[in-house]
A and B are shown apart, each in its own frame.
Chain A
Amino acid sequence: MKGSTSKRLAKLQKEGLTTLFPESTKIMVGSASCGIAAGADAVLQAITAEVKKKKMDAVVQKVGCIGLCYLEPLVDIIIPGRPRLTYGNVTPEKAKELVAAAKKGKVLEGALGKITAEPFLIEGTARDYNGTAGGVDDVPLYAELPFYRKQNRIALRNCGFIDPENITEYIAKGGYQSLASVLEKSSPGRIASDVERAGLRGRGGAGFPTGRKWKICLSARSDEKYLICNADEGDPGAYMDRSILEGDPHAVIEGMLIGGYAIGATRGFIYVRDEYPLAIERLEKALEQVREHGLVGEKILGSSFNFDITISRGAGAFVCGEETALIKSIEGDCGEPRQRPPFPAESGLWGKPTIINNVETLATVPVIAAKGAKWFSSIGTDGSKGSKVFSLVGNVNNIGLVEVPMGTTLRDIIFDIGGGIPNNRAFKAVQTGGPSGGCIPESLIDLPVDYDALTKSGSIMGSGGLIVMDEKTCMVDVAKYFLEFLESESCGKCTPCRVGVKRMREILTDICEGKAELEDLTRLEDMAGLINDSALCALGRTAPNPVLSTLKYFKDEYLAHILLKKCPAGVCKDLITFSVDKKTCIGCGACKKACPADAVTGEKKKAHKINTKKCIKCGACREVCPVSAVLT
């Protein structure tokens, strides 16, 4: 590294360490969107006010999400001489108690976990909290918690550990060192080869080898090339990219700079969903900071590399996650995909060679650059290297964001990390890959997360949404849900998708309403084959997947709807009636009060009844019943 550059980074690193590991007490509030939805702002306010009131010398800051989303709001606290402790479900009152205790150098009981040494992934070392004072022996170590034990956080390395709005903390954790060393020691071709040898495949879903894509673009001749970060995370049920952007925006920017250098680009764009205002805000701040420190612009870090980054806000269209549609959208037009080839790597934005990489892919790049291809490729399976972030949501106990080595089984993720299914219900399926993916049944739960294994099962890896479904989820309804989604998100350019998806959805609606016949299943399969063969883009071609995978693994449920006119899971409203189980009902009257249709009758302390003629099947009674006596 050139003397002046290394000095500059070292100075910022030193500055970052003063807030990363202050000599005073440090209190961190998980303030990603989900934390804020759970009340993190009020907790932060209470902490700030209490610290001021008690005239405490403490660093109070917002951090991203550490992944334990189901326990938000989360507060982490480091008292000098003690390990870092995490508290969950923190209320403003509890927050005040934490501060009061910290003022006395004490810790409160009830911490979820402790960290005695914070890992520095890029440097390969860990920084000790000098936790010499005792008193927290009964608190489990983070690394031993079931939720964390099997995780390997590479893309999420800094989320929850640094202030996302402070570039010096990112640099203190080894940030922008990779960029500096790539610019100084590596050529574009060499870094592209390194990433190819590492075996990094696109984390947006398609899984194309990133390094190979970069090489194609590098060899394309043009006066100008572009790199686009695809932050249009559209899969419903997935929020990995949002969490990275909100928790560690500089990791993505550094990845873009390295990628831009590798392909010979001069401009970068971050195409981010309009639904993610906080991610946009943090990206804007991060870009201001890199500009201030000369990490974007001309002659970056004293090299001859020029690169600038612009944010482009999406306007709410799922299809814009498809790369050719995304390009149209940045150009200011309707996001309609076009035929490929030519691939964007040869002719993309404004006709120039363009590379589109996903947020998680880019956030992983600086680590590969720092630790080498061999290190990265030692993690994972033969065909899928490294780790993958998943949003583990739906009917599972420990809802959150997890990053596991490729090859981890779905069972490990759902039952060990996720803690299984709540309310003593049985696991039914896990949906992966969003609307292009499928539902994987219990019989295949030992499948490893691996691009090829998941494709073979009839689903796909996708961007990382894992939606767990229990016995009360109707698989026909799920298939209908995805087709409704795709019908409304189809851009309308090609007929197979515009009309075919609609026809399939109509058949599914008939099945859910008990109006279908057995031949409809054959019609569904025929139509699926047709759309798959002839649709213009991946959205259309994969649209039948949710139907095909549920038909393959849950045909019984389809047959029950068609032949018996019954929805076994009790979801499809035309096929169910609400009733009260006389034996279980305690006559509390909650259902009667909640019913908007006056359909419930009954005296206090006696079993209640639902008048099925009046009942509108809104489920309000079931929601309030304290003893689960409402049946469908």
Chain B
Amino acid sequence: MKSSSKASIAAILKQYDSGQDSLISLMQDIQSAFGYLPKEALQQAGRELDIPLSKFFAVASFYNSFNLEPQGKHTISVCEGTACHVKNADNLAQMVARELELNGDEGTSTDRQFTLKKVRCLGCCSMAPVVKVNDDIHGSMTQTKTATILNQYRKDKK
């Protein structure tokens, strides 16, 4: 682990006392610094706050928002809430998975540019079906519109 990473974990840990009460909040801070929960960061946090690594793993695997693996540069979240589902959101997710050549129906592309996630629900049901890329929510999506947006992000890379 780089020394700069170690320093940023130390900065996060400064705000926390030992004990479990703020465990989720601590993990959220680590994730927002790294994009995921690096094992080394959790080990360091565990040593300093006297929390076993198994506890971190239990919490990280229980809640949907935690990632134990590095994520793609851009995260594409296809909403599969009920309103999106009845408007064929599943076809959108499958289309993105095909475009990114993923093995399953979720995951990260081999070039690490994109991570596809199915989420339920983003609470923008009036715009169903909804696709979120990073922090931007796109409403009333079709496969064509989704492909256009995907291509924009691909172009930005170049």
Residues on A facing B (Cβ under 8 Å): 33-34, 36-38, 69-70, 72, 233, 235-239, 242, 273-277, 312-318, 329, 331-335, 391, 393-395, 399-401, 431, 434, 465, 467, 469, 473, 478, 481-482, 485, 491, 594, 596, 618-620, 623-624
User: Using Cβ atoms and an 8 Å threshold, which residues of chain A touch B120?
Assistant: 236, 318, 485
User: Using Cβ atoms and an 8 Å threshold, which residues of chain A touch B25?
Assistant: 312-313, 332
B80 to chain A, nearest CB (A): 7
B82 touches which of A277, A394, A619 (Cβ 8 Å): A394
Tell whether B150 is near chain A: CB-to-CB under 8 Å. Answer: no
User: Using Cβ atoms and an 8 Å threshold, which residues of chain A touch B91?
Assistant: 618-620, 623
A5 to B130 CA separation, bound complex (whole angstroms): 47
Q: List B residues 1-56 near A (Cβ within 8 Å).
A: 20-25, 27-28
Most chain B beta carbons < 10 A, residue from A431, A485, A491: A485
B85 touches which of A277, A312, A335, A481 (Cβ 8 Å): A481
Residues on B facing A (Cβ under 8 Å): 20-25, 27-28, 58-59, 62-66, 80-83, 85-88, 91, 94-95, 98, 119-128, 130, 135, 137-139, 142-144
The A/B interface has a contact count, at CB < 8 Å, of: 153
Chain A residue with Cβ nearest B142: A623
Q: Are A239 and B123 in contact (CB under 8 A)?
A: yes
Q: Are A618 and B143 in contact (CB under 8 A)?
A: yes
Q: Are B123 and A393 in contact (CB under 8 A)?
A: no
User: Using Cβ atoms and an 8 Å threshold, which residues of chain A touch B125?
Assistant: 237-239, 391, 393-394, 399, 465, 467
Q: Are B59 and A624 in contact (CB under 8 A)?
A: no
B19 to chain A, nearest CB (A): 8
A317 touches which of B20, B28, B64, B123 (Cβ 8 Å): B64
Chain A residue with Cβ nearest B140: A38
Q: Are B95 and A37 in contact (CB under 8 A)?
A: no
Known contacts A37-B137, A394-B82; A333 and B20 CB within 8 A of each other: yes
User: Using Cβ atoms and an 8 Å threshold, which residues of chain A touch B62?
Assistant: 317, 334-335, 491
Give 17 A-B pairs besides A238-B121, A275-B119, A317-B63 with Cβ atoms closer than 8 angstroms: A33-B122, A37-B137, A37-B139, A70-B126, A236-B80, A237-B81, A237-B121, A238-B123, A274-B65, A275-B122, A315-B28, A315-B63, A316-B66, A332-B24, A334-B59, A478-B86, A620-B91
Q: Are A620 and B143 in contact (CB under 8 A)?
A: yes
Most chain A beta carbons < 10 A, residue from B63, B124, B135: B124
B77 to chain A, nearest CB (A): 9
Most chain A beta carbons < 10 A, residue from B64, B65, B91, B121: B121
Known contacts A315-B64, A316-B65, A623-B142; A33 and B124 CB within 8 A of each other: yes
A237 touches which of B83, B95, B119, B144 (Cβ 8 Å): B83
User: Using Cβ atoms and an 8 Å threshold, which residues of chain B touch A478?
Assistant: 85-86
Chain A residue with Cβ nearest B99: A596
Q: Are A33 and B82 in contact (CB under 8 A)?
A: no
A316 to B120 CA separation, bound complex (whole angstroms): 9
A127 to B45 CA separation, bound complex (whole angstroms): 56
Chain B residue with Cβ nearest A311: B25
Q: Are A277 and B124 in contact (CB under 8 A)?
A: no
Q: Are A596 and B58 in contact (CB under 8 A)?
A: no
A238 to B145 CA separation, bound complex (whole angstroms): 25
Chain A residue with Cβ nearest B143: A620
User: Using Cβ atoms and an 8 Å threshold, which residues of chain B touch A238?
Assistant: 121, 123, 125
15 contacts between A and B (CB under 8 A): A37-B130, A38-B127, A236-B83, A273-B123, A313-B24, A315-B24, A332-B22, A333-B23, A393-B83, A394-B82, A399-B126, A465-B82, A467-B83, A623-B88, A623-B91
